Structure 1
Amino acid sequence: MRIAFYAPLKSPRHPTPSGDRHVARLLIQALEAQGHDVHIASHLRSRDATGDKTRQARLKKIGEKLAARYIKKIQNKPKDQRPDVWITYHLYYKAPDWIGPLVCNALNIPYIAIEASIANKRANGPWDLSHQAVVSAVDQADCVISLNPHDTHCLPDTVRNWSLPPFIVPEPIIEKRKNWSQCRKAIAEKYDLDPHKQWLLAIAMMRPGDKLESYRVLSKALRGLPDLPWQLIIVGDGQARPDVESSFVWVPKTKITYTGQLNSDELASLIPACDIYTWPAVNEAYGLAFLEAQAGGLPVIAGKTGGVPAVVADGETGLLTAPGDPVAFAAALRSLLTAPVRRRDMGKAAAEKVEAMHSLVTAGQRLDAILSASRKGYIEPGLPLFDYTKRNKTL
């Protein structure tokens, strides 16, 4: 199938790394692995962060011009070179799709949204124009594919909603996990860590807002564990790094390590060498780092927010605590730090769950099935790897 792919918040080819860009690239990789021909239809970034009505109107005009140009270009091509479907990834009031709906109407092809949410409280406010565009796009969509179950509550009951569990490419981490003792020895030497202590791992960008608040909650939680032999490894960087470091200024230098930003190969070696993944996840969507940690055999301790319960099974692959509560977070940490057998069992279950439910291969198969059913306009009996939401069970 030929697929026109568009990410209005951030193009997959944008030079600045981010979780959003990473997910867009994973989606393309999963589709291509199933034999689909994917091309990026536009690089227009439609994001308006401040509610600037003038900017939104200007972006709308740009989008309309780009759509007209794309339509003309495609209509001049032979039918077998035209896209069969349009997919827009991450559609919300700050980053609407001004292009896809127009193209799909002109070319008479299905419009599919992955990760779409509607915030009705934005109606008649500073983002009203963008909000209305999202409402219209979702209404036109043949289906909406949700990575984060939390977003489905914001969708109209009339929308055909498909579930796609968040996913990663776990193989590099799995391979390193097979030789975790060698990884641990190498990491201990590289960062001067004590291999006999328990290593807590946190991976996150350092930016103001929810990320910084999560770091602060983690710091407060660790204050309640002065009697336990832990060492904290923090992976990440960003403009809020001075604030992050000031939050942990009370921690002895022998108990905390800042690695800075690491590439995927470095992370694949680091993750299996650690003991517990810890992240309070203040207002977190779902966080691919949770999946990467679990692929490495680490149990997770996280705040029970947003889509986190969709990737961390509470009591099975980790422990979820009350959002933003450092006391509860500290109690969860203590329970695993003092229970090595339970910790190992959770880590094993976590790795098995990621391999079975959150791999690129599994995601590609599910996407392939969804695309096939959407083009035919009905749900095939026995459609593999498909989850119905309760409100859409009659579709």
Structure 2
Amino acid sequence: MKSPDDPVPSGDRTMARQLVKALQIAGHEVDLVSSLKCRLRTPGMLEEIALDAGREVDQVAARWRAQGVPDLVMTYHVYYKSPDFIGSELARRFDIPFVTVEASHAGKRDRDEWAAAQAISSAAIRQADLNICFTDRDAEGVAKLVKPERLAVLPPFADFSGLPAVRQHNDEAETVELIAIAMMLKGNKLKSFSLLAEGLRRLKSRNWQLTVVGDGPVRDDVEKMFDGLDLVRFVGQKDRAGVADYLANSDVLVWPGYREAFGLAYLEAQGAGLPVVAMRSGGVEAVVDDGRTGRLVEEGNVAQFAIAVDELIGNADLRNSMGKQALAFARGERGIAIASARLDALLKRVDIG
């Protein structure tokens, strides 16, 4: 997927950077082996990407022979649309341990047009000395390919360093500030925007405003979904500090999260003291504690979604209670320091000779 040095913001890039930092905090020296993007938009791209990756492997191998071989190679986010061509091959050539982080496996892809790409992804997962998953859902899929001792779960985490911890919005204000943060892309993101717009139209409350942070190639389509909702404003893409400012001046994160892997935005919002309203979909349950840090409703059920949002709009005490618990959960249980220690402990299970 995206390299940590990719210029385009995304959850993938953020998590890649956080993994590097978590490893460094634990005392590991991290070298970015390759920035080659192996994301397949269509199954037909497989051969071209494989050729590019083969050349990349040869270049890295030559560099390692000249400068020294690392103790371990790690590949992030291995799945059928982003099969691992590089880390697994380098590990084989140099006989060093291989670890994947956020690997996933969907059995149905063995039988459709993605079967060839899935086969490469599955081979890397089977080869790995350890596969570290972020959610139980992903772990269940990977468990079909490997023995339990080669599988572990590391709960999703976020880096809150340099970000304000206390929500600054005035509870005496008449308007409750809702916020959604997401890239505007086709597929599941666009579906989430559709569910959000439909849910907002069902709200009984009128004392709210929604700020949408994010941009992307289908922004025009997204904005059309909210036609007639005058209480919605679009502010475009923001950097890390800009997102933090909007979170600090908001009250509730509202984002359906349709088929999300897990969603870093949920942790970032909770780390700013905001409760969350989302759907029990994909890996969202790995980052939102229903009834404690927010509300999770049935996937695709916009009526339930609207009821949950209405509840938080109309109850400042509940917002504050959930917000405080969200803050403690995100910054305490899911901060980068504890994740670094967990990650280090998992890597110590791998024999690096």
Note whether the superposition's TM-score is higher than 0.5: yes
Matched, 1:251 2:251: no
Unaligned runs of 5+ in 2: none
In the TM superposition, what whole-angstrom CA distance separates every residue of 1:150-184 from its partner, at most 9, and x where no partner exists?
21121125152111111111233334x27x15xx6
Determine the structure 2 residue equivalent to 1:285: 261
Asked if the contact 2:175/2:207 (under 8 Å) is kept, the reply is: yes
User: Which residue is 2:157 aligned to?
Assistant: 167
8 Å contact from structure 1 (residues 172, 268) kept in 2: no
Deviates more, 1:295-304 or 1:10-19: 10-19
1:267 to 1:372, Cα distance in 2 relative to 1, 3 A: same
Q: What stretches of structure 1 of length at least 5 have no aligned partner?
A: 1-8, 186-193, 378-395
Q: Does 1:363 align with 2:352?
A: no
Partners of 1:173 and 1:272 within 8 A in 2: no
Q: Is contact 2:205-2:313 (8 Å) kept? A: no
Residue 40 of structure 1: how far off its partner (Å)? 1.1
* Cα deviations by residue, 1:329-351 (Å, 9 ceiling, x for unpaired): 01111222222212211110000
Q: Which moved more, 1:314-323 or 1:195-204?
A: 195-204
Inter-partner Cα distance in structure 2 for 1:146 and 1:138: 11
Contact residue 252 and residue 277 of structure 2 kept, 8 A: yes
The letter for the 2-side match of 1:29 is K
Question: 2:34 matched to 1:42?
Answer: yes
2:100 pairs with 97, 105, 113, which one?
113
Secondary structure of the equivalent of 1:302? strand
Aligned to 2:133: 146
Aligned counterparts of 2:216 and 2:87: Cα–Cα separation in 1: 33
Match among 190, 199, 208 for residue 177 of structure 2: 199
2:242 to 257, 266, 269: 266
Say how many residue pairs are matched: 350
Determine if the alignment matches structure 1 residue 31 to structure 2 residue 23: yes
Distance 2:250 2:9 in 1: 24
1:233 maps onto 2:211 in alignment: yes
Q: Secondary structure at the match of 2:191?
A: helix
1:304 is aligned to 280
1:10 Cα deviation after fit: 1.9
Question: How much does 1:148 deviate?
Answer: 2.6
Larger mean Cα displacement after TM superposition, 152-161 or 33-42 = 152-161
| Cα pair distance change 1:10/1:341, threshold 3 Å | same
Matches within 5 A, 1:1-395: 9-52=1-44, 55-77=45-67, 81-123=68-110, 125-155=112-142, 156-159=145-148, 160-175=150-165, 177=166, 180-181=168-169, 195-252=173-230, 255-375=231-351
Q: 1:137 to 1:330 in 2, by over 3 A?
A: same
Query: 1:74, CA displacement in angstroms?
Result: 1.5
Please identify the structure whose Cα radius of gyration is greater: 1
Alignment partners' CA distance in 2, 1:114 and 1:24:
10
Deviations 1:369-393 (A, max 9, x none): 111221369xxxxxxxxxxxxxxxx
Q: CA deviation at 1:129?
A: 2.7
| CA RMSD after TM alignment | 2.0
Partner of 1:387: none
The DSSP-based 3-state class of the residue aligned with 1:201 is strand
Give the TM-score normalised by structure 1.
0.83
Letter in 2 for 1:324: G
- In the alignment, is the contact (CA less than 8 A) between 2:135 and 2:283 conserved in 1? yes
